[in-house]
Amino acid sequence: MNIHTIADHLNGLGDNSETGMNFDCQPISGEVDVLQITILGREELPIFVSVTDDQVLCISYLWGVDEVKPDSIPAMHESMLEMNIPMPLSSFSKIGDKYVVFGALSIGSSFNDIEHELAVLSNNAVEVIDDMSDYLL
Protein backbone atom coordinates (compact mmCIF):
# COMPACT_ATOMS: atom_id res chain seq x y z
CA MET A 1 0.00 0.00 0.00
CA ASN A 2 1.24 3.48 -0.88
CA ILE A 3 -0.23 6.91 -1.58
CA HIS A 4 -0.43 6.17 -5.31
CA THR A 5 -2.55 3.02 -4.89
CA ILE A 6 -4.80 4.91 -2.46
CA ALA A 7 -5.12 7.80 -4.95
CA ASP A 8 -5.91 5.44 -7.82
CA HIS A 9 -8.61 3.73 -5.79
CA LEU A 10 -10.26 6.90 -4.48
CA ASN A 11 -10.08 8.77 -7.79
CA GLY A 12 -11.63 5.74 -9.51
CA LEU A 13 -14.63 5.54 -7.20
CA GLY A 14 -16.64 8.34 -8.78
CA ASP A 15 -20.27 7.87 -7.76
CA ASN A 16 -19.56 4.35 -6.44
CA SER A 17 -18.18 5.56 -3.12
CA GLU A 18 -19.56 3.67 -0.11
CA THR A 19 -19.53 6.93 1.86
CA GLY A 20 -21.28 8.98 -0.81
CA MET A 21 -18.29 11.32 -0.99
CA ASN A 22 -16.34 12.23 -4.11
CA PHE A 23 -12.57 12.34 -3.68
CA ASP A 24 -9.93 14.22 -5.65
CA CYS A 25 -6.40 13.03 -4.85
CA GLN A 26 -3.16 14.83 -5.67
CA PRO A 27 0.22 13.32 -4.71
CA ILE A 28 2.77 15.76 -3.28
CA SER A 29 6.39 14.66 -3.62
CA GLY A 30 8.86 15.47 -0.89
CA GLU A 31 11.06 13.95 1.77
CA VAL A 32 7.91 12.06 2.74
CA ASP A 33 5.40 11.61 -0.06
CA VAL A 34 1.97 12.91 0.90
CA LEU A 35 -1.41 12.53 -0.73
CA GLN A 36 -3.66 15.61 -0.62
CA ILE A 37 -7.28 14.49 -0.68
CA THR A 38 -10.02 16.98 -1.35
CA ILE A 39 -13.63 15.99 -0.80
CA LEU A 40 -16.13 17.63 -3.13
CA GLY A 41 -17.92 20.40 -1.21
CA ARG A 42 -15.21 20.55 1.46
CA GLU A 43 -12.32 21.95 -0.55
CA GLU A 44 -11.27 24.22 2.34
CA LEU A 45 -10.52 21.14 4.51
CA PRO A 46 -8.22 18.83 2.56
CA ILE A 47 -6.91 15.68 4.21
CA PHE A 48 -3.25 14.81 3.96
CA VAL A 49 -2.33 11.13 3.93
CA SER A 50 1.09 9.58 4.40
CA VAL A 51 1.99 5.90 4.47
CA THR A 52 4.78 4.41 6.57
CA ASP A 53 5.85 0.82 7.16
CA ASP A 54 3.36 0.62 10.06
CA GLN A 55 0.47 2.96 9.42
CA VAL A 56 -1.63 5.12 7.16
CA LEU A 57 -1.80 8.56 8.78
CA CYS A 58 -4.60 10.99 7.84
CA ILE A 59 -4.43 14.65 8.96
CA SER A 60 -6.76 17.61 8.43
CA TYR A 61 -5.61 21.10 9.43
CA LEU A 62 -8.28 23.00 11.39
CA TRP A 63 -6.99 26.48 12.27
CA GLY A 64 -3.86 28.34 13.27
CA VAL A 65 -2.89 29.58 16.71
CA ASP A 66 -3.33 33.12 15.37
CA GLU A 67 -7.01 32.36 14.72
CA VAL A 68 -7.78 31.60 18.38
CA LYS A 69 -8.95 34.27 20.84
CA PRO A 70 -5.91 34.49 23.14
CA ASP A 71 -7.93 34.44 26.36
CA SER A 72 -9.87 31.37 25.12
CA ILE A 73 -6.94 29.00 24.61
CA PRO A 74 -7.18 27.19 27.99
CA ALA A 75 -10.95 26.71 27.64
CA MET A 76 -10.56 25.54 24.04
CA HIS A 77 -7.89 23.01 25.06
CA GLU A 78 -10.18 21.72 27.81
CA SER A 79 -13.05 21.35 25.33
CA MET A 80 -10.79 19.53 22.87
CA LEU A 81 -9.63 17.10 25.56
CA GLU A 82 -13.22 16.40 26.59
CA MET A 83 -14.22 15.85 22.96
CA ASN A 84 -11.28 13.57 22.11
CA ILE A 85 -12.67 10.22 23.30
CA PRO A 86 -16.26 10.50 22.04
CA MET A 87 -15.08 11.70 18.61
CA PRO A 88 -14.95 8.51 16.50
CA LEU A 89 -11.70 7.52 14.77
CA SER A 90 -10.06 10.92 15.28
CA SER A 91 -7.84 12.76 17.76
CA PHE A 92 -6.51 16.29 18.15
CA SER A 93 -2.93 17.43 17.87
CA LYS A 94 -0.90 20.52 17.10
CA ILE A 95 1.70 20.66 14.34
CA GLY A 96 3.80 23.79 14.64
CA ASP A 97 1.31 26.61 14.96
CA LYS A 98 -1.63 24.67 13.47
CA TYR A 99 -4.31 22.63 15.24
CA VAL A 100 -5.19 19.39 13.47
CA VAL A 101 -7.49 16.42 13.71
CA PHE A 102 -6.02 13.08 12.69
CA GLY A 103 -6.65 9.38 12.42
CA ALA A 104 -4.36 6.44 11.81
CA LEU A 105 -4.98 3.02 10.32
CA SER A 106 -2.97 -0.16 10.05
CA ILE A 107 -0.94 -0.55 6.87
CA GLY A 108 -3.04 -3.67 6.28
CA SER A 109 -6.31 -1.72 6.18
CA SER A 110 -8.58 -2.22 3.20
CA PHE A 111 -9.42 0.53 0.74
CA ASN A 112 -12.95 0.52 2.21
CA ASP A 113 -11.46 1.11 5.69
CA ILE A 114 -9.39 4.01 4.36
CA GLU A 115 -12.39 5.54 2.59
CA HIS A 116 -14.42 5.21 5.81
CA GLU A 117 -11.64 6.85 7.88
CA LEU A 118 -11.40 9.74 5.44
CA ALA A 119 -15.16 10.31 5.54
CA VAL A 120 -15.28 10.20 9.34
CA LEU A 121 -12.24 12.47 9.66
CA SER A 122 -13.76 14.98 7.25
CA ASN A 123 -17.08 14.93 9.10
CA ASN A 124 -15.28 15.35 12.43
CA ALA A 125 -13.26 18.30 11.11
CA VAL A 126 -16.44 20.08 10.02
CA GLU A 127 -18.11 19.34 13.38
CA VAL A 128 -15.06 20.46 15.40
CA ILE A 129 -14.79 23.78 13.58
CA ASP A 130 -18.47 24.40 14.29
CA ASP A 131 -18.18 23.31 17.94
CA MET A 132 -15.06 25.41 18.57
CA SER A 133 -16.24 28.53 16.73
CA ASP A 134 -16.76 30.46 20.00
CA TYR A 135 -13.01 30.19 20.69
CA LEU A 136 -11.97 31.43 17.25
CA LEU A 137 -11.55 34.97 15.97
Q: Give the pLDDT confidence of 88-100 residue by residue, as tens digits.
A: 999 999 999 999 9
Domain boundaries, the chain: 3-135
pLDDT (0 to 100) of residue 24:
97
- According to CATH, the topology of domain 3-135 is Yope Regulator; Chain: A, (3.30.1460)
Q: pLDDT for 55-85, tens place per residue?
A: 999 999 999 999 999 999 999 999 999 999 9
Calpha distance 134→131 (Å, rounded): 8
Q: How many CB atoms lie within 10 A of CB 100?
A: 18
pTM, two decimal places: 0.96
Q: Is 5 helix (H, G, I), strand (E, B) or coil?
A: helix
* CA 68, 49, 12, 87 torsion-angle sign: negative
| CA atoms 38, 39, 41, 46: torsion sign | negative
